[in-house]
Amino acid sequence: MPKGQPLSEFKLGQIQLIRDQSLSQQKIADFLGCSQSVISNSLNSKTHQGGENAPVGRPKVLTERNERKIAQLASTGKYSVRDIARELPISVSKDTVHRALCNNQDLQWRKIVTQPPLTQRHRDARLDFAREHMTWEKKWDKVVFSDEKKTDSAGYQDVLKANLIRQGSKIGGRGWIFQQDKASVHASRSTTDFLAAKNIRTLDWPARSPDLNPMENLWAELARRGYGHGRQYGIKRELEQAIHQEWANIPIETLRNLTDSMKRRIFEVILAHGGFTRY
């Protein structure tokens, strides 16, 4: 970080968040790529501590960041007003959230489809996972991500035999780790034994966490490319050919950006106290 450059609001939030996890100032500095003195000055500043230089007067109930978070959650179409209030890092009423949405001219109202909410157990598991992996950075390069597939355990293992075992080390390098969700075919005793027999390390992925998996965004990118400009396919073979072509055309930079997004996804889970993120 260039000398004298002020820390961004996001960086300041990261410093506070990591400090709350009982990490030393030097570890925080190493993780964020800045000097220990920058971390020390940030944590000891009177503004940061709410001292004499801090803003005076009664603050707004919602900060600009809170309002952006509300808009982001609302725009996904997955949350009710009450759900959004629960997702915020501060305690607010659903009426406060409703007023913020009504005052936002960039949003259009529509009825949402109700989804099963995260239970407290799900939230706790997501939060524990995020805290455990909050200092990961380059380690995410070693993770081979996957996505759910409609098949049985035997069919799933056939896919792993044909692709994962041969390609895993090429993708993630030495010490690579396999990511899979907790779908029944993934968590079955048969699949667990298969992975153990092949010495394949896996991440203990939290349930109901599609927003943590960048593969979800990659499929969306592939669909956008395949069906862009109103493209339609008359037969299955045409669709398959288009998928292979568009997959090959996805820039490496896109894949890199998705992997790099893991750091921010993890922090957003922590900021949401285990709740859903904008991803």
176 shares a domain with 111: no
Tell me: do 80 and 146 sit in the same domain: no
Among 116, 132, 164, identify where a domain stops.
116
Range of the domain at 111: 60-116
User: Are both 141 and 277 inside the same structural domain?
Assistant: yes
Q: Is 4 inside any structural domain? A: no
Question: 136-188: per-residue pLDDT in tens?
Answer: 988 999 999 998 777 788 888 998 888 888 888 888 888 899 999 888 888 88
d(CA 118, CA 95): 22
Q: Which residues contact 230 (CB under 8 A, 6 or more apart)?
A: none
For residue 251, give Cα distances in angstroms to 147, 163, 191, 217: 20, 21, 33, 14
On whether both 195 and 67 belong to a single domain, the answer is no
Same domain, 78 and 203: no
Positive or negative, the CA dihedral 224, 229, 230, 231 is: negative
Neighbours of 134 (CB within 10 A): 19
Tokens at 139, concatenated? 């380690």
Total number of domains in the chain: 3
Q: Do the domain assignments include residue 1? A: no
If asked whether residues 192 and 88 sit together in one domain, one would say no
Annotate 207-223 with DSSP letters as a single string. Answer: SS-GGG-THHHHHHHHH
Domain identity same for 130 and 195: yes
Beta-carbon contacts of residue 71 (< 8 Å; ≥ 6 apart): 101, 104, 106, 107
On whether both 129 and 139 belong to a single domain, the answer is yes
Average pLDDT over the chain reads 82
Q: Note the pLDDT tens digit of each residue in 92-106.
A: 888 888 888 877 777
Identify any residues that bridge with 143 across adjacent strands, giving them in sequence order. 177
Q: How far apart are CA 220 and CA 258, in angstroms?
A: 12
Within a domain: 147: yes
